[in-house]
Amino acid sequence: MDTDYDQKMHQRYGAPLLTIHKADLQLALINRAKELGVEFRLGDWLKDVNSDVPEVITISGERFPCDLVVGADGLWSRCRECFLGTQDKPNATGDLYRIMLRLKDIPDQDLRDLVAKPGLNFWLGPDCRVIAYSIRSGELYNSVLLRPDDLPAEVAKREGSTEEMKALFANWDPTCVPPAAFIHIHPIRLILTFNSACSDSWALSLR
Ligand SMILES: Cc1cc2nc3c(=O)[nH]c(=O)nc-3n(C[C@H](O)[C@H](O)[C@H](O)COP(=O)(O)OP(=O)(O)OC[C@H]3O[C@@H](n4cnc5c(N)ncnc54)[C@H](O)[C@@H]3O)c2cc1C
C-alpha cells in the first residue's frame, strides 16, 4: 500500500494534491471572475468562431467581436471543431460507474471513517480500477469504478445496474464497492472518453 502518494505528487509536480467537489471549484472560479469584472451570459451556445473578424457567434445569432477566444467547452468541443475545421469526436476508452455517498446517510462505522478522513484511494485490478475520495471536509465521498466499455455507441450516459456492478467487482476488496446497504443509491454509468486531436497542431491564434 502506498501511503505517501500526496508527498510523491508534491515532489513531482511542486503542488499539493487536493480533492475538491467540482461544483465548489466552479463556484469559486465564478465568484473570483465576477470580482474581476467578468460578465457571464448563460443559456446560449457557441455555434461558430469567425477568425477573420474575429468574433464568436452563438446559436441565438448573437455576435461577440473579441481579441481572444478561450475554448473551454469540454470533450465535445464545438470551439475545437471550428479551429480544426472538421468534426472531432472523442474516442471511447471505457465506462464508469459513479456513486456519491453522504456521511449523514452512513450508519456503518468503518465506512464512516473512510468517508470522514480526507484522502484519495486507488484500487487497480484486471480490466478495472476504482478511484474514491472524500470531499467537502469528509461530508461527501465520491466513488468512480472504471470498467471496460460495452455501452452501445450512441449511449453516453444511463442509469447503472447495481447487480452488474456488484458482479464485476465481486472478488475485489469489499471497501471498493460500498456495502449493499448503500447500493439503493443507483450508480450512474457513463462513457469515458479521450480526445486525440489535442496536439500542438491546433494551437492557432486569431488575427
Ligand atoms: C462522471 C465523471 C466523473 C469524473 N470524475 C473525475 C474525478 O474524480 N476527478 C477528475 O479530475 N476528473 C473527473 N472527471 C473529469 C472532469 O470532469 C473533466 O476532466 C473536466 O470537467 C473537464 O473540464 P472542462 O472545463 O475541459 O470541460 P467541462 O467540465 O465538460 O465543461 C465544458 C463546459 O462547456 C459547456 N459547453 C459545451 N459546448 C458548448 C457550446 N457549444 N457553447 C457553450 N458552452 C458549451 C458545457 O455545458 C460545460 O459547461 C469526471 C468526469 C465525469 C463525466
pLDDT of residue 202: 44
**The ligand 1 atom nearest the CA atom of 79:** 41
Residue position matching grid coordinates 465535445: 76
Instruction: Name the residue at shortest CA distance from atom 46 of ligand 1.
Output: 73
Domains plus CATH for the chain?
32-88 (no CATH), 91-194 (3.30.9.30)
Instruction: Determine the residue type at 49.
Output: V
Is 63 considered catalytic here?
A: no
Q: 22: CA distance to ligand 1 center in Å?
A: 9
Cα torsion angle, 149, 153, 155, 160, sign: negative
pLDDT at residue 192, as a whole number = 65
Per-residue confidence (pLDDT) for residue 25, from 0 to 100: 95
DSSP notation for 82-113: HHHTS--PPEEEEEEEEEEEEGGG---HHHHH
Return the pLDDT at 152: 78
pLDDT at 204: 40
Distance 74 CA to ligand 1 centre (A): 5
In degrees and rounded to multiples of 5, residue 80 shows phi and psi of -65, -40
Q: Which residues lie with the beta carbon below 6 Å from any ligand 1 atom?
A: 22, 45-46, 72-74, 78, 98, 144, 190
Residue 1 Cα to ligand 1 midpoint, Å, equals 31
Please list the rounded mean pLDDT of every run of 10 residues in the chain (207 residues): 83 91 94 96 93 93 93 88 84 81 84 84 90 90 86 77 85 76 57 59 40
